Structure 1
Amino acid sequence: MDQAIAKADTLLEAMGWIRRFRGKTTVIKLGGSLLEDRTALHHILLDVIFMETVGMRPVVVHGGGKAINQALSDAGIEAKFSRGRRITDAPTLEIVKRVLAGDVNRLLTDEIERLGGRAMNLSFETTNVLFGEKLVPEDGEDLGFVGHVTRVDRQVIEGLSYTDQVPIIPSMCQGDDGAQYNVNADTAAMAVAQALGAEKLVFLSDVNGVRRDKDDPETVIHSLNVSEANRLISEGVIASGMIPKVEACLDTLGRGVGKIHIIDGKLRHSLLLEIYTTDGVGTQIVKDPKSAGQPTGSA
């Protein structure tokens, strides 16, 4: 009986958050490394189905770097990168399209359906919702068919969400001239979140958030506002590869997104624990209290 009562208490704790976020959009960026862990992926998609079931509007944007690397290797094509971005020539683009817009998108859609949810595959093969142009870095380097998103078809995505379906979107975009481009998955998710005015943008990662000591998971910082994040960057606490991610998060907060979360996608039900419990399990990044209009909360 005590165990049953504890379960009821957990549901009551979740009820407040469920009511608060009902009808609100959450964009979830699913990283390529998690796609290789079928157990973790199974629980992530169950969380997504739960979110939709209780009235949230989840939207999934995904990459697929490891699967692309494997497909390139199988085809005898060397994977090349420059400053963390995949150099995408014409043969590489064809494989990126097959993996991201084809294999991975269908996998996620089919698995959600198999688990009892409803999802829609949005890609070049069905309905494309991300539009953009060729990315030209500041140094002028030619990365090939690498682009950035300049426009999101908000109407299509919201139409699916209103009919209780989960949109599944690969990190690729199409130019006005019909050219297709590979897009960094983080920036694609940010563009979608900004276009939808999302309540939350969640990055599912293989780390448990921003840490005071990058090598110690126990030092995760559960909540940061803009001023605190900038201070930790200047002090060197937020360092190396976490700096551009956090800076991009701060920029996204200034463009209409309510909160950003960085959580460990391999932790079982990390999405539900972060959104529907008081303490959370990762790092949330929020606006400064005055600009947010309310105190920093845990969800």
Structure 2
Amino acid sequence: MRASNILLLLASASLSTNGLAFLMPGSTRALPGSFTINDPSLVASLSVPPATSSALFMSEAPDSSESSSADAGDDKIDITLDDRLYRIRITRAPGIEWGTDLSFSFVYVRAMEPAGPASLSNQIEVGDQICELKAVGEKGSTVVPLIGASFDAVMRAFATLAKTTKIVDLVFFKGSKDELKALCEGGSKKSDVESGKIKITVIQNKGSRDEQVKIIIVDEGANVRQTLVDNGINVYQSLTRWTNCKGKQLCGTCIVNIVDGANGTNRKSMDEESTLRENPDSYRLSCVTFAYEDVTVETFPPIKAAQWTR
């Protein structure tokens, strides 16, 4: 595609004063309030500074199936590090309106042309953060890391693609700027919720045809029983020796199984240990269980008769 075919639709003519641009496929006509880059010397002078944070995602041995580019051996973001990362092959003008916050960095998908390639991909979504760009089928093409890059840098990355480049590989992150920054800092998969929040995954009717899984986002330190009840999930067994003891750790009516993440909960008290003494260690009285990290909870776990007859 010729450089003159790249249309940047802006509210102002300065890239640095407006974090907004629209890459339109197959369009060369300037619209009101827009301009086109048609000076080869200008395009040649543009440079793209690397984004150092993206190095945390580099794969030492990229999967060749990810790209058929001439230099497929180049380091690329390893999208297997987190299921919110994905790579997509698409035309260089994907019909995406890019945006940023007031930092003018961490560029994301602000909107998409309804009939554009991005919209029709059924994979790219509004809010996705762009992380990487690479030309496909161009000898000597290199990976352009874009995590944390400025708005200007992202626009320049597209503008400086070779005239013969028609297809590109883009890597996106499905999440917020803060989530992407947290992933960069940790270098591994983290909770997909904001700081100070945790995820409680609830399994209901496990193993039956009516099995359901529900994910609840709550504050750190949330009480498990209260969280479930507030979200319409019943935790109370219908057959017990004692009636509801109202949190005194005596009746066992609200027993749940912490399938995963037990280390992220408070320790059992002596009373809770006594009430649950003939059950697996992962069983908890939800009324006195507080979650500080992501946990998976199974309601109505199998309980032996001794729980009610001893």
Structure number, greater radius of gyration: 2
Larger helix fraction of residues: 1
TM-score by length of 1: 0.22
Higher relative contact order (CA 8 A, sep 6+): 1
Larger strand fraction of residues: 2
TM-score by length of 2: 0.22
